[in-house]
Amino acid sequence: MKFAAQKGTRDILPSEIYKWQKAERMFADVCHMYGYEEIRIPTFEQTDLFQRGVGDTTDVVQKEMYTFNDKGGRSITLRPEGTAGVVRSYIENGMSSLPNPVRLFYNITAFRYENVQKGRYREFHQFGLEAFGSEGPDIDAEIISILTVFFKKVGLKNIKLCINSIGCPTCRKKYNEVLKDYFRPNLDSMCDDCKARFDKNPLRMIDCKDDRCKKFAEGAPRLIDYLCEDCNNHFEGLKKNLDTLGITYTIDSGIVRGLDYYTRTVFEFVSENVGTQGTILGGGRYDGLVATMDGAPTPGIGFAMGAERFLLEADAQGIDFEEPNYVKVYFADLSPEAKDQIKKLVYELRLNDIGCEMDLMGRAFRAQMKYAGKHNIPYLVAIGDDELSSGVVKVKCMADGSQTDVELSKIVDYFKSILA
Ligand code: ATP
Ligand code: MG
């Protein structure tokens, strides 16, 4: 039998891993620079956590979760996103007693049972962050600026920022009635999910992916026109902050986000490039979530960026992540005695943080040189009996073909000085 990776999962091979490593490092560096610390949360949680946290009227919970019973009879779900787990950890570990804001970032795998397409997988990765304890809107703008800084450092251009406000329970109460009045005459011709959402969570109907519902959803009244005074002030504050930083944005009153926990600020960064999956990331404020999960009422805000979509976009824009060359020197041997000497040399160099390689295949000299060339190893040292007796070797620089005589006893110092 031939095994294959499961539908919607992918291997990240050595030929592309350097892009991931670089992106992960750059994201972590920017987060650290803003005072965020990394958190690592478990891959699976009890199913209720997501039902309550993400919301049981969402597509994610209703259609996309990987849920199963473990051998102990517990209902377990592979995390479809990071926020619910981070909020659980925040509450469970008493992080509310830490100085505010509590700021955490993460790099996780997430799992959703989806229709697989370019930029849409069943196992995917998210770079994300969450900040607790600050009501903003200063922090809302600061979080958006983390992304603009990150994109700038990577060299990504033309990523459009779209913002919206979806208010608080107060404005939503009034708005829900307006929305229900709007949808009521057509409810019979909408999908079953929307019929159920009509009473439970009409805002979700705006986000429905079913063609029968989309045409009604498009003309629906928008929450942003029904904001209460506090929410309106908050949104104005966000816009003012962004204007101060010179961050351009578009107000898209159609953004409601696919997860139930959002309040007030919601935002997305969108590109034209990533096929039909143009949304590189989404985020927003969730002031009610910590309390919903039985923590003390605490405002929160965060985002999650799809790492695959980010890298697809980076590739489309021709971003060079510069594949590193960890191995700097190849030692080719011309005799068994030389090979013994080389074993000691490479060990010493490695102890001194200089990457090097020697033959492990019993190859002839010419084949060793060919191997070094194939791997683009920048320096070459050939050692035979002559070099052993003279105690001097030639170091060849492959970039310009130049050769330098170096005493064997000083080889570590030599490479330290030229590779520094
Ligand atoms: P979409 O509308 O594309 O389904 P979403 O609203 O479900 O996205 P979020 O839950 O907000 O997505 O997740 C944040 C980000 O994670 C998305 O903007 C996207 O970049 C990425 N993402 C979500 N689902 C997938 C997936 N199945 N495969 C790859 N990336 C994904
Ligand atoms: Mg989705």
pLDDT of residue 349 exceeding 80 = yes
Q: Which residue in 309, 304, 257, 290 sits closest to 79, CA to CA? A: 304
Q: Does the C-beta of 88 come closer than 6 Å to ligand 1?
A: no
pLDDT in tens, 206-219: 888 888 998 899 89
Q: How far is the CA of 33 from the centre of ligand 2 (A)?
A: 30
- Range scoring the smallest mean pLDDT among 115-129, 211-225, 231-245: 211-225
Q: Residue with the nearest Cα to atom 23 of ligand 1?
A: 306
Enter the pTM of the model.
0.93
Q: Is 112 in the pocket of ligand 1 (CB under 6 A)?
A: yes
Q: What is the pLDDT of residue 275?
A: 59
Residue whose CA is at the smallest distance from ligand 1 atom 7: 258
* Contacts of 156-161 spanning 24+ positions with Cβ under 8 A: 156/313, 156/314, 156/317, 156/319, 157/317, 158/271, 158/272, 158/317, 159/269, 159/270, 159/271, 159/280, 159/313, 160/250, 160/269, 160/270, 160/271, 161/247, 161/248, 161/249, 161/250, 161/267, 161/268, 161/269
Mean pLDDT of 280-295: 96
Q: Pull the structure tokens for residue 399.
A: 């970039």
Gap from CA of 35 to ligand 1 centroid (Å): 26
Alpha helices in 293-335 (DSSP H): 307-316
The arithmetic mean of pLDDT across residues 392-407, rounded, is 96
Other C-beta atoms lying within 10 Å of the C-beta of residue 126: 22
Residue closest by Cα to atom 29 of ligand 1: 120
The token pair at 380 is 């070459």
CA of 281 from ligand 1 middle (Å) equals 7
pLDDT at residue 272 is higher than 80: no
Q: Using omega within 30 degrees of 0 as the cis cutoff, is the peptide bond preceding 185 cis?
A: no
Which residue CA neighbors atom 11 of ligand 1 most closely? Answer: 282
The Cα–Cα gap between 334 and 83 comes to 59
pLDDT digits (tens, 9 = 90+) for 133-157: 999 899 999 999 999 999 999 999 9
Above 80 in pLDDT, residue 274?
no
258 lines ligand 1 (CB under 6 A): yes
Window from 11-20, 184-193, 378-387 with minimum mean pLDDT: 184-193
Ligand 1 pocket test: pick from 65, 123, 279 the residue with the most ligand atoms within 8 Å of its Cβ: 279
Quote the pLDDT of residue 420: 79
Q: Is the pLDDT of residue 258 over 80?
A: no
**For residue 29, is pLDDT > 80?**
yes
Q: 420 or 333, which is more confident?
A: 333
Mean of the pLDDT values across residues 191-201?
90
Percent of the chain residues past pLDDT 90, beyond the cut: 88
280: CA distance to ligand 1 center in Å?
8
Q: Report pLDDT digits (tens) over 83-114.
A: 999 999 999 999 999 999 999 999 999 999 99
- 306: amino acid identity, one letter: G
> What pLDDT is stored for residue 259 in this prediction?
74
Q: Could you tell me the distance, in angstroms and rounded to a whole number, from the CA of residue 349 to the centre of ligand 2? A: 50
For a ligand 1 pocket test, name from 58, 207, 277 the mutation site with the most ligand atoms within 8 angstroms of its C-beta: 277
Cα diameter, the chain: 96
The finding on whether 83 has its CB within 6 A of some atom of ligand 1 is no
pLDDT band at 276 (very low <50, low <70, confident <90, very high): low
Answer whether 278 contacts ligand 1 (Cβ < 6 A).
no
What is the predicted pLDDT for the residue at 132?
98
Burial 236-267 (b: 16+ CB within 10 A, else e): ebbeebbeeeeeebeebbebbbbbbbbbbbbb
Q: How far is the CA of 306 from the centre of ligand 1 (A)?
A: 6
Distance 224 CA to ligand 1 centre (A): 23
Ligand 1 centroid–CA 261 distance in Å is 15
Q: Is 81 in the pocket of ligand 1 (CB under 6 A)?
A: yes
- Number of the ligand closest to the Cα of 109: 1
What is the number of other CB atoms lying within 10 angstroms of the CB of residue 32? 12
364-393 average pLDDT score: 97
Of ligand 1's listed atoms, the one at least distance from the Cα of 119 is: 29
Provide the mean pLDDT of the chain: 95
Distance 130 CA to ligand 2 centre (A): 19
Residue nearest to atom 24 of ligand 1 (CA): 120
Across the range 119-130, mean pLDDT stands at: 97
Average pLDDT over residues 384-397: 96
Q: Which residue has the higher pLDDT, 202 or 379?
A: 379
Please work out, in degrees rounded to the nearest 5, the angle formed at the alpha carbon of residue 106 by the alpha carbons of 100 and 110: 135
Per-residue pLDDT band for 309 (boundaries 50, 70, 90) equals very high
